[in-house]
Each structure stands twice: as C-alpha cells, then as structure tokens.
Copies of this chain bind each other. A is one copy, B any other.
Amino acid sequence: MKQFISTADVPSVPRLVDIALEYKKNPFKDRALGQDKTLGMIFLNPSLRTRLSTQVAAKNLGMEPIVFNIDKEGWQLEMNDGVIMNGNTSEHVKEAAAVMGQYFDILAIRTFPGLKNKEEDYTEKYINQFIKYAGVPVVSLESATLHPLQSLTDVITIKERWNEPRKPKVVMTWAPHVKALPQAVPNSFAQWINAWGEADFVITHPEGYELDEKFTNGARIEYNQEEALKDADFVYVKNWSSYRDYGKITCTDNSWMVDNEKLKNTNNAKVMHCLPVRRNVVIADEVLDGPNSIVIPEAGNRVWAAQAVLSEILKG
C-alpha cells in the first residue's frame, strides 16, 4: 500500500480487515517491522481516539510515533500556491510537508474541512498538498471528506460480530446535533461498506441531507427512519451537516435521536458511533448504557485498523 486516504488505496478491503483481526489476536507479532522507522503524526485539529490508537498501533509495530500539534506548537500553513505571504501564514505547505518528509518514514495528518467552500473541501486540497510534497507515504487521520481509519474500524467491528450466511442489514442513520459537523465519517462509512460488499446497506436521513453520490452510490436511501431501521442488524448513528446546502444545519428535528423505542423493530441491532457522541442529543443514555451499544469495543478496534494500515505501508 502506498498511502491511505480512501478505499481506492486499498487492494482488498476484506484482506485488510483480516490483517487487522490477526493483530487483535497477536498485537506484537510484527514488533520488528517498524524498527528504526518513524511515524510523524501531524494534527491541524483535535483528536482523541485517532491520536491515541495510532500511537499505540505504531508502538506495537516497533515504530516510533512523533506527535506534532502544528496548529498549537508550530504555526499556520499557507495552502495556496503563488501567494505573496505577507499575512498570517508563516510557512507554505510545500516546505512544511517536504521537510517533514525528510524526518519521517510515514506522515499521518488530520485536517478538517472549513465547511464553507464545498469545492475546496471536496477536492481535498489540504491533504492533497501534503501528499504532493511530502515525498513519503501519507496516512489520513481524517481529512475534509473522509475518515478511513474510522471506517476500516467499523467494517472490522461488524465483521467480527457477524457469522450468519446472509448479509447483515446495516443502517446508517442521521441524528441531530448542536453543531455543523463534517460529512467525513458518513461519506467514508458509505464508501467502505460499499467497497466491502458484504452488507445490505441502507442510509436514512431527513430530505436535504443527501450525501455525495460518489460515496453512497450502491446504498438504498430511505427518508423514513422507522422504515429504514426495520430488521436492522447494525445501526450506525451519525450527525452531519448538509452537503446540498453546504455546511448548514437544515433540520433540528430531535425525533431523529436514537433511543430504545427506535430499536424495537430492528433485529436486536447493535448500535455503533464513531465518538465523541453527545448523549441525549444524538443517542439516548438508555441505548449507550444498554446491551445494544458496541461503541466502546468499536473504539478499541481503532488500534488494529491503524496497525493493519501502518504495517501494509511499511511492507510497501
């Protein structure tokens, strides 16, 4: 594997899932693989799970993770070409990425979308600039439109809980939130579930919250949440802001929150969320504290997803 930004970089999603599950059984079997290798982890935005699980994954492979909060410990980067840099940006990504490429064997980056300029966000300008200039493999720790380490984790989490011959019904449902959030997690979940190909996949959300078809194509879209959730085996809950009316909150209907009542007509569905989750806004306490929630082991699987990705890149 040469980089890890989207499913397009992955020769086989099922194989990558298997590699991750092998690390879960035997975390230290490739301890020598990362010897004398460094992973630069560059944060332009906050992170908890991605940050900590990737550090642990790197150490499991004997690789040294070096974390750099460039937004707080460094300075603001210029992302646009040809600019006269007499403003607030102190360094161009051309230099910053290339220099970090001199220090690290793999460069991992987290960068959120601005949610103001759809084209800028959806061309993945920021992470693509890093890819262009780093000169070493780049791993996304979440970019403007995708969060592949999360989605690989989600596929792993479904797969390890499903032994039946039929495909599981996986329903991704929009839920309310107080802030305008990126579409990265739902875009990415759709892309990965589609690329995996082992699920009956349904997406439900209020009208106006349609995601970019480039990612959802192949999934059934159902505007009626109750109808969508019927017989679900896995319910993936997530808020996102509108893609059509870009970056806006166009629905504040709290009845979309997932509570036990919503799970009644499911097939005793397991409930997933990427976290952090706002309790009693996105998902009710009774669900998160009840037997259907698998959000904690889901987050735990982040380690094995990151370890699979880093190992495949180290193997080249």
Residues of A within 8 A of B (CB): 27-28, 36, 38, 40, 43, 46-49, 51-53, 55-56, 59-60, 64, 66, 68-70, 72-75, 78, 81-87, 90-92, 94-96, 98-100, 102-104, 178, 275-281, 285, 288-289, 295-297, 299-300, 303
Nearest chain-B residue to A98 (Cβ)?
B296
Partner of A55, one of B66, B86, B277, B280: B66
Given contacts A52-B66, A68-B51, A99-B49, contact A278 B85 (CB under 8 A): yes
A28: B residues at CB distance < 8 A: 36
A70 and B68 CA atoms in complex are apart in Å by 15
Q: Are A99 and B48 in contact (CB under 8 A)?
A: yes
Partner of A276, one of B53, B68, B91, B300: B91
Nearest chain-B residue to A38 (Cβ)?
B56
Partner of A178, one of B60, B86, B95, B278: B86
Q: Are A296 and B46 in contact (CB under 8 A)?
A: no
Q: Are B103 and A53 in contact (CB under 8 A)?
A: yes
